[in-house]
Chains A and B, each alone.
Chain A
Amino acid sequence: MTATTPAYAHLKDPTTVRRLLTAPTLGPLVALILACVFFSLSSEQFLSGGNFSLIVQQVMVVGTLAIGQTLIILTAGIDLSCGAVMAFGSIVMAKLAAEGSVPPLLAITLGLLVCAGFGLLNGLLVKGVPLPPFIVTLGMLNVAFALTHIYSEEQTISRLPSELTVLGDTFPLGNTDITYGSLVTIALFLLFAYALGATGWGRHVYALGNSPESARLNGIGTTRLTIGVYALAGLVYGIAALLLISRTGVGDPQAGQTDNLDSITAVVLGGTSLFGGRGTVLGTLLGVLIVGVFRNGLQLMGVASVYQTLITGILVILAVTVDQMSRRKVR
């Protein structure tokens, strides 16, 4: 603006330190660090590159689903169908490629499109009819689950061409082996952190979650935006389907049955509000890692897996409680 001291000079941008201290991702970050400190003290194997690489591999499928879930929850929606859609996508990819009727890359593309199509259908029903996202995706959960079992004929599909499992291959980084799939997941997190945080599209997604009416009055095409978000989330589930195949090496019709709730858990642990309009995808990454670190650390300590689930449940309730209380203080 002008060279003279403007009248609004007192309106300082907050400093980086202040911004970090007030960031909603601070809570999850502190929780993650505390968990890491605790587990490295209780188990010698925890603090190693190999173990961290393992944690990332263990969470990359749910983590990728949680990216799509974050998008939808930010618009004040919810997606119960993500795990089932991913399972169906993975069966489509595996079966088409294993039968050899289509080239592997085409099979992958078709699987991605099927997942995006499910997302699109969810979006059309949510916005076009309109119906509550909970109901639409609950129905779609059953549809996708049934289709998975019908199409796979309840059979696990093995002997897949290498194109479908290449993301499970590793490359060495120092003396740690990293899977390509982990990189894909992390790249997706960064991509969506950018899209939500630094573009107009991201602003519009937040505005939509805040108040669809206010977004509409401000000239945002809310119908297209909502349907687009669901379709995009579907495409992300398709990528998760490919990661799922690469991790297990087979097309498994039983896969992903609790992943819908696990992805919601990660989103909530990451500080995103289920009422929409608040939260970040990097928070979701932290949420995913918190779940992964707890499961891994407890396993190393020899705690049975049912207790891991117990602790995850307590963590979610704790996280939401802390979030609600801190928000009340602001007002």
Chain B
Amino acid sequence: MSETSTKAAPVLQARGLVKRYGQVTAIDGADFDLLPGEVLAVIGDNGAGKTSLIKALTGALVPDRGEIRLNGEPVRFSGPQSARQYGIETVYQDLAVAPSMDIASNMFLGRELRRPGPLGSVLRLLDKKRMREQAAAHMADLGIGLRSLTQAVETLSGGQRQAVAVARSVAWARSVIVMDEPTAALGVKESGQVLDLIRRVRDKGLPVVLISHNMPHVFEIADRIHVHRLGRRAALIRPQDHSMAEVVAIMTGALSVSEGGGTVVADTEAAKAAGVTAD
């Protein structure tokens, strides 16, 4: 696969990432490229190491070897907080919201705004009004309709909660948003709303890394697909060039992708079983 086929410089890039836990190799020389303004889906079988890759890119794990570049500059993340300071925000699968707290409090959790002057610096008084206004502006910006920002998050539906989590990340992300299975726990209609939301985020110019198991969702929304297999990138493809069956076959190792972008049968038996052939 060629790296020069793309004109724009990657926003987030990784080369040769390695992470070992004793005998287990979680990341085995993985590469990663995220272009500006794209939705990049990261897919892979269970145990393929996509979670470890994502953790390395969001600071939750420090790789043993390899390089991560953000906007061309080499970066090292010492923890999630450090990646966040670089403008990389993550929407976690289990939502990471505080259910009894209201929407505005959740959006500013860990980053509360204080009143200006001694009220804030000495008395540590929160600026609730400013936080509510900014939260409202962010929600409106993404077209998320909610009755009130002082509602506790636990009174919202699953889709609305996910919207709050996404809006929070969008509000703080300057470079990249990473979403871990954002539709996994949602119904059909709510999934559709979250996919719409992801499109709006991309249209605002923020690139999105989408980890998903849901192949139809991936094909619906992704601009490119990063297929992870055995701890490294097996392929980087465009959804319009391949069928879902082919992508699944790449994921399981039945097919592999050649330099020119065509598919090659790697495992004849498996490919036959999956009902796919090479170009």
Contact = CB atoms under 8 A, between A and B. Distances in A.
Interface of A: 1, 6-8, 11-14, 198-201, 203-204, 206-207, 210-211, 213-215, 217-220, 277-278, 330-331
Contacts of B155: 330-331
Given A213-B96, A217-B80, A203 B136 contact: no
Contacts, number: 90
Interface in B16-64: none
Given A1-B133, A211-B98, A7 B140 contact: yes
Q: Is the interface of B mostly helix, strand, loop or mixed?
A: loop
Nearest to B155: A330
Contacts of B154: 331
Given A203-B126, A217-B96, A219-B81, 5 more contacts: A13-B132, A14-B148, A211-B98, A214-B94, A331-B154
Contacts of A7: 140
A98 B111 CA distance: 49
Contacts of B84: 219
B110 A220 contact: yes
Q: Is the interface of A mostly helix, strand, loop or mixed?
A: loop
B100 A277 contact: yes
Contacts of B92: 217
A14 B98 contact: no
Interface of B: 80-81, 84, 90, 92, 94-101, 105, 109-112, 114, 124-126, 128, 132-133, 136-137, 139-140, 146-150, 154-155
Contacts of B126: 198-200, 203
17 contacts: A11-B132, A11-B148, A13-B132, A13-B150, A199-B126, A210-B98, A214-B94, A214-B109, A218-B110, A218-B111, A219-B81, A219-B84, A219-B110, A219-B111, A220-B110, A277-B100, A331-B155
Given A203-B112, A219-B84, A330-B155, A8 B137 contact: yes
A217 B168 CA distance: 13
A201 B133 contact: no
A173 B106 CA distance: 44
Contacts of B100: 206, 210, 277-278
Nearest to B133: A1
A75 B232 CA distance: 41
Given A199-B126, A210-B98, A331-B154, A11 B112 contact: no
Contacts of B149: 11
